[in-house]
Amino acid sequence: MSTENRLKDWTPTSWQQKTTLQQPTYRDPAALERSVLELSRLPPIVVSWEVDALHRHLAKAQQGESFILQGGNCAESFDDCTSERVVEQLKILLQMSLVLAHGLKKRIIRVGRIAGQYAKPRSADMETKDGVTLPSYRGDIVNRAPFDAAAREPDPSLLLRGYERAALTLNFVRSLVEGGFTDLHHPEYWDLDFMRHSPKYEEYKRIASSVGDALTFFESITGRTVADAEQTNFYASHEGLHLHYEQAQTRFIARTQRWYNLSTHMPWIGVRTAALEHGHVEYFRGIANPIAVKVGPSADAAYLAELTRILNPERIPGRLTLLHRLGAKDIESKLPPMIEAVRASGAEVLWICDPMHGNTESTATGVKTRRFENILSEIESAFKVHAEMGSHLGGVHLELTGDNVTECTGGARGLSDHDLARAYRSTVDPRLNYEQALEVAMRIGRLSGARSLPTDSP
């Protein structure tokens, strides 16, 4: 069936006819409508040709030719929309990508969890504390974290505040990129104040200078500058959870005759909202962006075959990414049948490993954390399983920050449960700190499975 025919019954609002989970309940539906209308008139945050450019990069990653580094906060907060926080986030992703490019000998495509990662799925609609029951905190685009009635009331005007924060963030990132901040010739711009004290600093410096030497060598013998190295790409992604927000920024593009979600380059569906017959899958099937879906241990062969058929019936390379998040313990038994099921259905996807969300646990005192060794072990297993199955692991999806937080245990400094209290800042999931994130990149670079060449044989 042609795309046109297949999408005959799809509109940016057709999801509203389906059961849609994890949406806030607004007291005043007219106020929600006003916000959505205003949002739908404002200019887009990204443009369709950038979205198409990322799509082409993802298609290459699917072939094993490049590698996707997707990362950022579990949830962005409006208060963190400051120049320091945005620069910090950009710096750690740039440093990691330099280390990964050096280790994997592949082009690295950077995709931030940034400029729109404001809505969070929650296990319960309501939260009760000391006999008081209030709506759960669903992210800054919905309500506020403090446990009081006014803060927890879902407020539709926050959709506009989120849009503005996203636009400010991406505007700043674009200016930095265009101004030369991401130029591989100048990794010294990316230094973070505290990194000099890090046990990983010397190794990072060695890698950075070896990349610099390689660039100088190439440029001196060819007489050309490596243009790609000057203007390095950077894309935005977020969980497309709040469907009124996504819908309002969905625009018809005459050039391609398709609808694009122009709130971000690459939205994804979270594991809790990915039921085939529900609103999120309905909305995502109609947009032309490259899209991703989180898949957990319960994704069986029938589900995967149907999911890939609904979301990518034409089997367009780069269109559909599956972000597997299985946990260090289960990945070696759960991933092979998943790869097999997708292959047997005739679908082709880009596989990316999210080693964070299957490895969340609580300490004895109830603090949410993740162990560095489990995160690393899930990544190692992912490379190994894909290589053994003649598949490619095309990227990693991480929750990280360029800040010096203590939220995940382990890593070069051997953070213990005890250390978590020192600098735990996340309002939701625990993130790798600067040093742990860099160490992950270094360890990936050293994995032999990670460097295996693309192969056609199963």
- Interacting residue ranges for ligand PEP, rule: CB under 6 A: 74, 121, 239, 270-272, 294, 325, 357, 429
Q: What is the smallest separation between the CB atom of 269 and ligand PEP, expressed in angstroms?
A: 8
Give the span between the Cα atoms of 253 and 262, in whole angstroms.
Answer: 10
Q: Which does 52 bind (CB under 5 to 8 A by kind): Co ion, ligand PEP, none?
A: none
Residue among 52 and 354 whose Cβ is closer to ligand PEP: 354
Residues 46, 74, 288, 304: which binds Co ion (CB under 5 A)?
74
Residue among 74 and 311 whose Cβ is closer to Co ion: 74
Residues 354, 403, 429, 435: which binds Co ion (CB under 5 A)?
429
Residue 130 Rama label (left phi>0; alpha psi -120 to 50; beta): left
Residue among 232 and 237 whose Cβ is closer to Co ion: 237
Give the span between the Cα atoms of 73 and 238, in whole angstroms.
Answer: 10
Give the span between the Cα atoms of 12 and 261, in whole angstroms.
Answer: 9
Exposure of 130 by Cβ count < 10 A (0-12 exposed, 13-18 middle, 19+ buried)?
exposed
Near Co ion in 117-156, by CB under 5 A: none
Give the span between the Cα atoms of 444 and 319, in whole angstroms.
Answer: 25
Near Co ion in 98-117, by CB under 5 A: none
Q: What is the smallest separation between the CB atom of 271 and ligand PEP, expressed in angstroms?
A: 4
Give the span between the Cα atoms of 375 and 360, in whole angstroms.
Answer: 10
Residue among 354 and 435 whose Cβ is closer to ligand PEP: 354
CB 210 within 8 A of CB 88: no
CB 134 within 8 A of CB 24: no
The yes or no reply on residue 76 touching Co ion (CB under 5 A) is no
Residue among 384 and 397 whose Cβ is closer to ligand PEP: 397
Q: Which does 407 bind (CB under 5 to 8 A by kind): Co ion, ligand PEP, none?
A: none
CB hemisphere CA count around 70 (13 angstroms): 30
Q: Which does 271 bind (CB under 5 to 8 A by kind): ligand PEP, Co ion, none?
A: ligand PEP
- Kindly indicate which of the ranges 50-58, 91-99, 371-379, 424-432 contains the residues binding Co ion, using the contact rule CB under 5 A: 424-432
Residues 6+ apart with CB under 8 A from 93: 69, 71, 72, 110, 112, 234
Residue among 204 and 235 whose Cβ is closer to ligand PEP: 235
Give the span between the Cα atoms of 236 and 288, in whole angstroms.
Answer: 16
Q: What is the smallest separation between the CB atom of 336 and ligand PEP, expressed in angstroms?
A: 20
Q: What residues line the site for Co ion (CB under 5 A)?
A: 74, 429
